[in-house]
Amino acid sequence: MSNGESRESLDLLASAAEQSSPQSRIKRNTACVSCRDSKVKCNASTVPGQPCQRCQKLKLRCVVDKSHKRVSKRSGRPAQPRALKSRVFSSEDIDRYFDQYFEHFHPYFPVVRIREPDAIYNSGSVLFWVIVVTACRKSTHEGGIFDFLVDAVRNEIWESVSDPPVSLATVNALLILSVWPLPTIRFMKDPSPIYVSLLMNSCYILGIHTGRGDFPTHVYPAYRLSVSDEEAVYSWVGFNVISQRVSTYSGTPSTGQYFNSTIESILDRTSPVKIPMYFYILLESAAFLHRVGRTIAANLEQGKGVSHHVVEQLEEDFQKVQGLMSAGISEVDQFTILSTLLELQVFYFMPMPGFSQEAFKRNALRCHTTAQSVIRLALKLNNDIDFLSNSPYFVCRSMLSAGCIVISALLSPSTKEVIERQIQDAGSTLDAVVNEALAGVRLCSIQDGDLPVRAAKMMESAWSVREILPATELSQLGQMDFSHRLGMGLPLDCIRRWKRQMEQIRPDKVTPQPVAADGASTAAVASAAEMLAADPFSRVDWDAFMKDFDMNFDPALMDTVVA
């Protein structure tokens, strides 16, 4: 296959994201995963590619996977009441939280292989409370329960890892908190990279990387797991997936870097332990991104950029990997493939000195198209199954990267006119396209003032005063100060550049407006349009710029680890 044919195939993949799911090709003589787990009849939709009646009503992911195995079922007994510090949780509350977790979150990262709350608590209380706090992400957060759990679980985690050896329950708790971090994180204070490093050592010491749950002759007695091989395999697959995803969205080399024979047997389907299709695609994508990261890091060590020929070759290789994942995939799987493609194409924005302007522009436009496809598919999935509020945190970071690419391309003099024409031909507007990107980030929010909210406010503010900001060419983003951050170079450069530009043009004094009394509300509304026209900064959320989004560090710190 030629380079042109390969790139054309990938472009067709991007456009296919807005069409019906390939899942429609599967004969519906097999119940979907959700109905099988709940042991209810699965009434397939008469429209190909659409969810079954139950999944559509409950807004659940409808995935058909003949290799799926039900997680150990819940007993009919209610869970025991449990206390965490000063707070008591009733049996009804615990059962509700566990049902929410296994229905809305577990399908995205199925490392916990038992459902029984009491059994999970006995295996390790920290995993029990991590499941509860993760399930609370879907609640209304009334009564301060969520905030209480966030503070309490953070302390529980550090206490559990400070007394080795850790248990498999603690390993799974760290995995879940890396996939769905607590909402208090900031760009520079996300503990996921630390969790992943702890997980790497724990998996090696416990022998989880072998895919065996118990081998007493090879492990010190205090470190014996005494669990099933299936539990060990799922946890090891989960570690490899989240290790690479954290590496990708943080822009640092992976701490795992150990896609060993256990993982290879899963990928080539020779392992006796089978994993669901969604988990398989996550693993295959992570293995590919691991290879991409090593290749790009080596290129950056040798020069001051990445040749577009290298990225094109990696795209061609990804086309072959995609062929292994194309049969019977859902739209959520399609999103994983598209976001992986975007994480590869972003390296087009790190060209070598003396690069071809025409080639750069062509590749930048293709990346912009992929970014738009990622955003639109995510919004469709969110409308269907609340995808963005339930999905892993690395999905949010993919939405942030896609949004930065869309806005940057619309602000770049070399690509602005072409993209404007494409958008107008499609019957849309620039503001509508940007609002889609902002919505994709904002819908990842689970709490007022969390990272997705702050990021969306910052991006919206920068777009609202785009006529005042200095023009920046796409080819200048992700260079110099940020090239050592690998694929995150462009979004991090965008964020920091917008932050500093906004700080420089900020008025010397912003006088806060007093809150109007009820009688003055009409006058305030009447003058709002005039104030906005006279002062474009009135729509800027300055707090979003002053307190976050400055996340770079000295490139010299990376010299010994990127090779």
Counting the structural domains of the chain, the total is 3
Which among 458, 473, 508 is the end of a domain?
A: 508
How far is Cα 331 from Cα 17, in angstroms, rounded to an integer? 8
Q: Is residue 179 part of a domain?
A: yes
Residues 6+ positions from 279 with CB-CB distance below 8 Å:
109, 110, 237, 241
- Position 435 scores a pLDDT of 97
The domain of 94 spans 83-275
What per-residue confidence (pLDDT) applies to 286?
A: 94
Residue 163: what are its φ and ψ, rounded to 5°? -130, 80
Q: Tell me, yes or no, whether 322 lies in a domain.
A: yes
Catalogue the E-assigned strands of 281-390: none
- Residue numbers in the chain where pLDDT is lower than 50: 1, 3, 5-6, 9-10, 12-27, 478, 509-534, 542, 545-546, 550-563
H or E element at residue 84? strand 82-84
- My answer on whether 41 and 160 are in the same domain is no
Distance from C-alpha of 110 to C-alpha of 101, rounded to nearest angstrom? 11
Within-domain flag for 539: no
Q: Which residue has the tokens 């679980």?
A: 153
CA 211, CA 263: separation in Å to the nearest integer? 9
Q: Which pLDDT score is estimated for 207? A: 87
Domain end (from 508, 523, 545): 508
CA distances in angstroms from 409 to 359, 367, 444, 490, 496, listed in the order given:
15, 10, 23, 11, 16
Write down the pTM of the prediction.
Answer: 0.80
pLDDT for res 184: 78
Nearest of 96, 70, 98, 95 to residue 80 by alpha carbon? 95
CB atoms under 10 Å from CB of 555, counted, come to: 15
- Residue-level pLDDT at 524: 37
Q: What's the pLDDT tens digit per position in 8-52?
A: 544 544 444 434 333 333 345 678 877 877 667 888 877 766 788
Q: Both 93 and 37 in a single domain? A: no
> What's phi and psi for 548, nearest 5 deg?
-160, 180
pLDDT number for residue 206? 87
Q: Are 551 and 497 in contact (CB under 8 A)?
A: no
CB atoms near residue 1 (< 10 Å) = 10
Examine residue 161 and state whether it is found in any structural domain, yes or no: yes
**For position 62, which CATH number holds?**
4.10.240.10
Are 325 and 426 within one domain?
Answer: yes
DSSP letters of 380-414?
HHHHHH-HHHHS-HHHHHHHHHHHHHHHHHHH-HH
pLDDT tens digits, one per residue of 65-99: 665 555 555 556 788 999 999 899 999 999 999 99
Taking the CA atoms of 426, 429, 434 and 439 in sequence, report the sign of the dihedral they define. negative
**287 three-class SS:** helix
Please check whether residues 142 and 66 belong to one and the same domain.
no
Which helix (H) or strand (E) is 89 found in, with range? strand 87-89
Q: Are residues 44 and 115 in the same domain?
A: no
Whether residue 500 contacts residue 413, with contact meaning beta carbons closer than 8 Å, is answered with: no
CB 146 within 8 A of CB 100: no
Q: Is residue 270 part of a domain?
A: yes
Q: Do 193 and 55 fall within a single domain? A: no
332 and 203 inside one domain: no
**CA-based angle 474:479:482, to the nearest 5?**
120
What is the spatial distance between Cα 385 and Cα 390, in angstroms, rounded to a whole number? 9
Q: Is residue 536 part of a domain?
A: no
Place of tokens 């695609």: 281
Cα–Cα dist 278/19, whole Å: 19
Q: Are residues 266 and 365 in the same domain?
A: no
**Domain-embedded: residue 534:** no
Q: Classify 549 in phi/psi space as left (phi over 0), alpha (psi -120 to 50) or beta.
A: left
Cα gap 279→70, rounded to integer Å: 14
Q: Answer yes or no: is 48 within a domain.
A: yes
Give pLDDT, residue 450.
87
Q: Tell me: do 360 and 440 sit in the same domain.
A: yes
pLDDT tens-digit profile of 419-467?
A: 999 999 999 999 999 999 999 999 999 988 888 998 898 889 889 888 8
Residue 34 is predicted with a pLDDT of 76
Q: Of the candidates 55, 58, 56, 64, which has an alpha carbon nearest to the alpha carbon of residue 31? A: 64
Domain boundary among 234, 255, 275: 275
Q: Are residues 44 and 184 in the same domain?
A: no
38 and 182 in a single domain? The answer is no
**Structural contact between residues 243 and 260, judged by C-beta atoms closer than 8 angstroms:** no
Q: Is the same domain home to 54 and 126? A: no
Distance (Å, rounded) from C-alpha 363 to C-alpha 368? 9
Give the burial string for 61-85 (b: 16+ CB within 10 Å, else e).
Answer: bbbbbeebbeeeebeeeebeebebe
